[in-house]
């Protein structure tokens, strides 16, 4: 999923992102506003994982949610 698609579909994806990463708050999601790099940063922060691991989780999640 490219950056434009991720940002363009943010309202639809937001709920699915929160389902996958339940530690992300509504405030986190509002700040993220569909910016993929910020999603990775918040996942990294909330779950205490590396940036590479966060990116890997996002890529796996994206492959399951392609339109």
As a whole number of angstroms, the distance between CA 67 and CA 65 comes to: 6
Token pair, residue 52, equals 């590479």
Looking at residue 2, its pLDDT comes to 65
Looking at residue 66, its pLDDT comes to 72
Contact of 21 with 44, CB cutoff 8 Å: no
Looking at residue 7, its pLDDT comes to 78
Q: What are phi and psi of 42, to 5 degrees?
A: -70, -40
As a whole number of angstroms, the distance between CA 47 and CA 65 comes to: 21
pLDDT tens string 35-61: 988 999 999 999 999 999 999 999 999
Looking at residue 25, its pLDDT comes to 95
């Amino acid at each position: 999923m490219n950056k434009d698609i991720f940002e363009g579909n943010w309202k639809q994806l937001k709920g699915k992102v929160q389902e996958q990463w339940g530690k992300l708050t509504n405030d986190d999601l509002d700040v993220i506003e569909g910016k993929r790099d910020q999603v990775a940063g918040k996942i990294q922060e909330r779950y205490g994982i590396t940036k590479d691991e966060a990116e890997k989780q996002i890529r796996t999640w994206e492959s399951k949610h392609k339109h």
